[in-house]
Structure 1
Amino acid sequence: MTEIALSCIIPAYNEAPRIGGVLQAVLDHPLIEEVVVVDDGSGDGTAEAAEAAGRGHGHLRVLRQPRNGGKTRAVARGIAEARGQHVLLLDSDLLGLGPEHLSALATPVLQGHAGAAISLRRNAPLLWRMIGIDYISGERVMPRAVLASQLAALEALPRFGLEVFMNRLWIDAGLRVAVVRWPEVESPYKHDKRGGWIAGLRADAAMLGDIFRTVPPTETLRQVLALRARRV
């Protein structure tokens, strides 16, 4: 398998209305040589929407998971399939994303100024914007080897334990971290996507449960402080 510089991996679950906009920013980006969308058992035509958006782009692959297994397993599938020396992880529901945001995130790593990079979106929680880092941001750039060596561990993680697990890997590896502000980009709130506040709060509670099953609350605080101290 021929290695390339940068692969973009996009896990997606029921994001047919939004994934086309994300791919519009990704496809034909000069720094991205491969795009891998992993459809996580969607029931709304997400895979078909991704294929339609990428028609004519030979470096897009759309992989289909047989059933919904959660973001972590979808990313693990993408990591296993990707050929990049580095990977760019993107959520599939981002609004306001443009090619310039991807350049800003990838360039510090590709040029060797940082070991990894993480986004800070416009609607990240106020506390994270105040302290200058969103420790559970899903938009990241890092060497593929950081995750490729942990595929078995990824498969065993809770559905939404990925980001704090990656934080642990970055800290253990001593990576310097570029925090890249994206003031024009936001991620839809769960209550907007799930059809109401109750469903949104349940989804948030499930995500927090997965985070704290992966690392204890005290470690999440240590991660925030450690990543903040490693900013370049």
Structure 2
Amino acid sequence: MNPDSVAVVIPAFNEESTVAGVIGVAQRLTADVVVASDGSVDDTVNVARQAGARVLDLQPNGGKGPALKAALEATQAEYVLMLDADLTGLTPEHLHLLLAPVTNGQLDMSIGVFEGGGFVTDWGNKLTPHLSGQRACRRAWLLGVPHLGEERWPEPAITAHLKNTGARWDYIELPQVAQVLKEKKRGFWKGARARTRMYADLLTFGWRKKK
């Protein structure tokens, strides 16, 4: 596979402590790494630039969906890996696990789920695996997802498009990968409120689109 045919896109909001690590792993797969900072007010933009990524400094904060779409439009790669910016334990092998079934034509999309990275993130990821932010697919397919750039959290829209188009997809286990909990990044109460708002938005996608 030609590395030039793959881009890694990383939506990020206030992830100065972890984004460089994710970028570093992504760069071992491809030089085309795009970080879309979604109105970050910390040092995410500078850290990501110093790590060697192309950075889109989006203002104001508009949500992960608009950030993801902007990152997709900033590359011409045939295939994309979508990664969250707060991952820990990530290795190039994990990226190959996600990408291989897509580039070899077995799947239209692979969706990464955590395994062994930590009880809380493992549990949350396995309870709602369809909400995972770690995915691989063709860039053109992802840009074709209805409402992609309108949703604060785009994963439900992506999952709905998988079902509506009859696309071939499967879950791929990512051993020892985890995410930094919102409660740890923002403090317990702020993090808990942010998590509650996130899940409320994610889990009401279908109801909102039927209105």
What TM-score range do you get, normalising by the shorter chain? 0.7 to 0.9
- Secondary structure at the aligned position of 2:184 is classed as helix
What per-residue deviation string (whole Å, max 9, x for no partner) do you get for residues 150-206 of structure 1?
47x22332x12x10100011111212213211121001111111111x222211211
Q: Which amino acid aligns with 2:62?
A: G
Residue in structure 2 matching 1:111, options 101, 104, 114: 104
| Residue 204, structure 1, aligned to residue 195, structure 2 | yes
Find the counterpart in structure 1 of residue 20 from structure 2. Answer: 20
| Residue 154, structure 1, aligned to residue 154, structure 2 | no
| Residue 126, structure 1, aligned to residue 123, structure 2 | yes
What per-residue deviation string (whole Å, max 9, x for no partner) do you get for residues 128-168 of structure 1?
638xx7110000011212222347x22332x12x1010001
Deviation at 1:125, TM superposition (A): 4.8
- Give the stretch that moved more between structures: 186-195 or 92-101: 186-195
Find the counterpart in structure 2 of residue 51 from structure 1. Answer: 49
Quote the Cα distance in structure 1 between the aligned partners of 2:203 and 2:171. 24
Aligned positions, number: 202
Could you list the runs of 5+ residues in structure 1 that have no partner in the other structure?
Answer: 55-59, 220-232
Structure 1 residues 134 and 212, CA gap change in structure 2 (3 angstroms): closer
- Secondary structure at the aligned position of 1:180 is classed as strand
Quote the Cα distance in structure 1 between the aligned partners of 2:206 and 2:75. 27
Q: Which amino acid aligns with 2:38?
A: D
What are the equivalent positions in structure 2 for 1:125-144 lying under 5 Å apart?
Answer: 125-126=122-123, 129=126, 134-144=129-139
Q: What's the RMSD between the two structures over aligned residues?
A: 2.1
- Secondary structure at the aligned position of 1:206 is classed as helix
What are the equivalent positions in structure 2 for 1:1-232 lying under 5 Å apart?
Answer: 4-29=4-29, 32-54=30-52, 60-122=53-115, 123=118, 124-126=121-123, 129=126, 134-150=129-145, 153-157=147-151, 159-160=152-153, 162-196=154-188, 198-216=189-207
Q: Which amino acid aligns with 1:154?
A: L
What per-residue deviation string (whole Å, max 9, x for no partner) do you get for residues 6-34 of structure 1?
211001111111111111111131xx351
Q: Which amino acid aligns with 2:192?
A: L
CA contact (8 A) 1:5 1:33 kept: no
Deviation at 1:35, TM superposition (A): 1.0
- Secondary structure at the aligned position of 1:175 is classed as coil
Q: Which amino acid aligns with 2:23?
A: L
Normalising by the residue count of structure 2, what TM-score does the alignment of the two structures yield? 0.87
CA contact (8 A) 2:36 2:67 kept: yes
Q: Which amino acid aligns with 2:148?
A: L
Quote the Cα distance in structure 2 between the aligned partners of 1:68 and 1:44. 13
Quote the Cα distance in structure 2 between the aligned partners of 1:119 and 1:75. 17
CA contact (8 A) 1:37 1:63 kept: yes
Structure 1 residues 206 and 192, CA gap change in structure 2 (3 angstroms): same
